[in-house]
């Protein structure tokens, strides 16, 4: 706990991401790693004074790290983060921006001392990556967005399934070139209204304010459940899925 009785903040977790970036890359698959980079970019561009925007950014990073094995050094820090109890400060955004710069412009390997035939005045090393460039890599679409590559229904298809306006608990992903996308796992295959357990879990995950974070939880690997929650719909009791979401929200 902090001195004011609130849970620990996210800054130590972000610092560990930088410290262990090589082992993180080795532990995550390509799609999982791309998702982590995208979430770091989103956190880096969050307005520091907008607490909810920063919270959403932190949650996105946290969920993107969940596929790490339990033996990874980040797991203990990840499990200590309390997004509800610990209001983020401006340091959270600045640390995320530092990580974006680190991932997109790693420090060069030290070069050997110049010999008699080498240029004694090599060109200076490039400076930090500007914020705009950092955002263009992760937040402007250059990094692949695995969530938009998942099977999804259009807004018209969802209205037809729901018989009108869809419930706010449904995950709705913005895709300006193609229109809003609703991940298909939220509905029974072929026809029918949304799974009730999906709506229940989405309420816990605040899908109406953080749809990408909720989608990442459903579609990402979950060691506790033994697979991605979306793939286990109808195969595990609904209460097990709800319990896993409660454990995430409560930080267990």
DSSP-derived pairing of the beta strands 152-154 and 181-183:
antiparallel
Are residues 178 and 98 part of one domain? no
- Residues 124, 37: Cα–Cα separation, whole Å: 27
User: pLDDT > 70: what percent of the chain?
Assistant: 75
| 22 belongs to a structural domain | yes
Quick one: average pLDDT of 182-193? 90
Quick one: average pLDDT of 7-15? 70
**What is the predicted pLDDT for the residue at 233?**
93
Are residues 151 and 92 part of one domain? no
- In whole angstroms, how far apart are CA 96 and each of 29, 93, 200, 243? 21, 5, 31, 30
Are residues 92 and 34 part of one domain? yes
Helices (DSSP H) in the chain: which residue ranges? 11-19, 21-27, 30-44, 51-65, 74-80, 90-104, 131-138, 155-162, 196-204, 211-219, 238-250
Q: pLDDT by residue (tens digit) across 193-245?
A: 999 999 999 888 888 877 888 888 898 888 888 889 999 999 999 999 998 88
User: pLDDT > 90: what percent of the chain?
Assistant: 16
Number of domains in the chain: 2
**What is the predicted pLDDT for the residue at 106?**
61
Are residues 100 and 189 part of one domain? no
**Length of the chain as a residue count:** 252
Q: Which has more pLDDT, 116 or 237?
A: 237
| 189 belongs to a structural domain | yes
Q: pLDDT by residue (tens digit) across 14-24?
A: 888 888 888 88
Q: Which domain holds residue 203?
A: 146-250
- Residues 195, 107: Cα–Cα separation, whole Å: 48
Are residues 199 and 104 part of one domain? no
**What is the predicted pLDDT for the residue at 84?**
43
Q: pLDDT by residue (tens digit) across 79-111?
A: 666 544 445 667 888 888 888 888 776 655 455
Q: Which of residues 138, 159, 192 is at a domain's end? A: 138
Query: Under a CB-based contact definition with an 8 Å cutoff, are residues 201 and 166 in contact?
Result: no
Res 158 pLDDT > 90: yes
Res 152 pLDDT > 50: yes
Quick one: average pLDDT of 38-51? 83
Q: Which has more pLDDT, 77 or 198?
A: 198
**What is the predicted pLDDT for the residue at 110?**
52
Quick one: average pLDDT of 49-60? 81
């Amino acid at each position: 706990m902090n001195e004011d009785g609130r849970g620990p903040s996210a800054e130590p977790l972000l610092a560990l991401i930088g410290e262990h970036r090589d082992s993180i890359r080795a532990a995550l698959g390509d799609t999982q790693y791309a998702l982590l980079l995208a979430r770091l970019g989103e956190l880096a561009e969050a307005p520091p004074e907008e607490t909810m925007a920063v919270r959403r950014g932190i949650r996105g990073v946290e969920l993107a790290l969940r596929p790490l094995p339990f033996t990874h050094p980040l797991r203990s820090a990840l499990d200590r983060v309390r997004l509800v109890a610990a209001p983020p400060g401006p340091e959270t955004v600045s640390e995320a921006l530092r990580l974006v710069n680190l991932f997109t412009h790693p420090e060069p390997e030290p070069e050997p001392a110049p010999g008699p035939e080498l240029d004694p005045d090599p060109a200076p090393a490039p400076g930090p990556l500007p914020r705009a460039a950092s955002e263009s890599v992760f937040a402007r679409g250059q990094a692949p967005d695995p969530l938009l590559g998942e099977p999804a229904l259009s807004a018209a298809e969802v209205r037809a399934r729901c018989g009108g306006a869809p419930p706010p608990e449904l995950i709705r992903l913005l895709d300006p070139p193609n229109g809003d996308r609703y991940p298909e796992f939220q509905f029974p295959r072929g026809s029918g209204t949304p799974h009730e357990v999906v709506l229940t879990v989405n309420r816990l995950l605040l899908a109406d304010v953080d749809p990408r974070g909720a989608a990442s939880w459903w579609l990402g690997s979950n060691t506790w459940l033994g697979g991605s929650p979306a793939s286990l719909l109808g195969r595990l009791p609904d209460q097990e899925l709800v319990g896993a979401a409660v454990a995430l929200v409560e930080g267990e």
